[in-house]
Amino acid sequence: MNKKINIGIIGSGKITNEYLKILIKLKTFNLEGITSKTNKNSFKIAKRFKINKVYKNYKEMANSKNIDALFVLVSYNNIYKVTKEIIKYRKPIFIEKPPGLSLQETKKLFQLSKKHKVKNMVGLNRRYYSIFEKGKKIISSKGRLLGLSIEGHERAWSKNFRLNNWLFANSIHTLDLINFFGGNVDSKKIYINKYKGLNSNISCNFMFKSGALGLYQAFWYSPGGWSVKLYGEGVTVIFNPLEKGYYFLNDSKKRVILPDKIDLLYKPGFYKQIKVFENYILKNKKDKNMHDLKSCLKTITLLDNINKNINI
């Protein structure tokens, strides 16, 4: 494909603006169209980012000969519905997380993508944090990963918190980091405990096929953010909050992990994942950290396992 990739944006929320800040800078992409539920904001965004056309709806956009690829950036409870409808148009699709609010929905999208032979990518931007990649290299430079500890607290204590489907809608980020940092989990060695009376307060112990140990904790009714700790041979790497990284060697001196400049200029991870999607469209090459609907099923399956045990 020598010409520019004409893209269509579905959705006009805050997250759309974050993607467009990058897309407008990349020479490979042409901002051909945008559409949203009411299109009230679409016209404002189209004017701001010089998008060629506001389409009446996403079906019209997906069916247009002027559109080469699609970005599904709608609210989390509408992603599955929209993606299911546009897959049949056989155009590459970038899907914001979560691809579905259940294991069944994600499996359905994967089956449809396979049937229609559609290139797709699921946008879990934390897989592309520059400090995460540097942290993994620090661990491997000293030897093996011995274990990891992840805290995936949600804000059930907040008055503005919406509990419905939140495990799939948002906790997918921290649960995906289990596979990202540790690799494949031994499904026969997962142990889940929950606090009686508050089922969303959980502690999960598991083992990776590599032999490393894992701990995932989520205390939704206790204020606190997300964090990750990686334990290596003579080294500990910590991300707390996830956007800040540092590590300790045997001398106990704290060393800061600095992010790449691109993660300071844009929302962390966004630039890299868009470049990965671009390369996938042009060269049919998948990045090692890239999630499509097929590979994302690993995370969704693990999430579903936890969901069944805690009954949120």
240 and 108 belong to one structural domain:
no
Q: What CATH number did the domain enclosing 281 receive?
A: 3.40.50.720
3 state SS for the chain: CCCCEEEEEECCCHHHHHHHHHHCCCCCEEEEEEECCCCHHHHHHHHHHCCCEECCCHHHHHHCCCCCEEEECCCCCCHHHHHHHHHHHCCCEEEECCCCCCHHHHHHHHHHHHHHCCCEEEECHHHHCHHHHHHHHHHHHHCCEEEEEEEECCCCCCCCCCCCCHHHHCCHHHHHHHHHHHCCEEEEEEEEEEECCEEEEEEEEEEECCCCEEEEEEECCCCCCEEEEEEECCEEEEECCCCCEEEECCCCCEEEECCCCHHHHCCCCHHHHHHHHHHHHHHCCCCCCCCCHHHHHHHHHHHHHHHHHHCC
Tokens 């790497």 found at? 237
CB 69 within 8 A of CB 94: yes
pTM equals 0.94
Domain count, the chain: 2
Q: pLDDT value at position 48?
A: 96
Q: What is the residue-averaged pLDDT of the chain?
A: 92
Residues 225 and 240: their CA atoms lie apart, in Å, by: 8
CB 33 within 8 A of CB 11: no
306 and 168 belong to one structural domain:
yes
Q: pLDDT value at position 163?
A: 62
67 and 179 belong to one structural domain:
no
CB 167 within 8 A of CB 308: no
pLDDT at 138 over 50: yes
pLDDT at 28 over 60: yes
The values of phi and psi at residue 174, to 5°, are -75, -35
Model confidence at 24, pLDDT cuts 50, 70, 90, reads very high
pLDDT at 2 over 70: no
**pLDDT for 139-166, tens place per residue?**
999 999 999 999 999 887 777 776 667 8
As a whole number, mean pLDDT of residues 94-122 equals 97
pLDDT at 170 over 50: yes
**pLDDT for 279-310, tens place per residue?**
999 999 999 999 999 999 999 998 888 877 66
Q: Which domain covers residue 57, as residue numbers?
A: 5-126+270-290
For residue 164, with 0-12 CB atoms within 10 Å meaning exposed, 13-18 middle and 19 or more buried, which class applies? Answer: exposed
137 and 161 belong to one structural domain:
yes
114 and 140 belong to one structural domain:
no
122 and 135 belong to one structural domain:
no
150 and 117 belong to one structural domain:
no
Q: pLDDT value at position 1?
A: 47
225 and 199 belong to one structural domain:
yes
103 and 187 belong to one structural domain:
no
24 and 76 belong to one structural domain:
yes
167 and 244 belong to one structural domain:
yes
**pLDDT for 177-235, tens place per residue?**
999 999 988 877 778 887 765 666 888 999 999 999 999 998 888 888 899 999 999 99
97 and 216 belong to one structural domain:
no
Q: What CATH number did the domain enclosing 173 receive?
A: 3.30.360.10
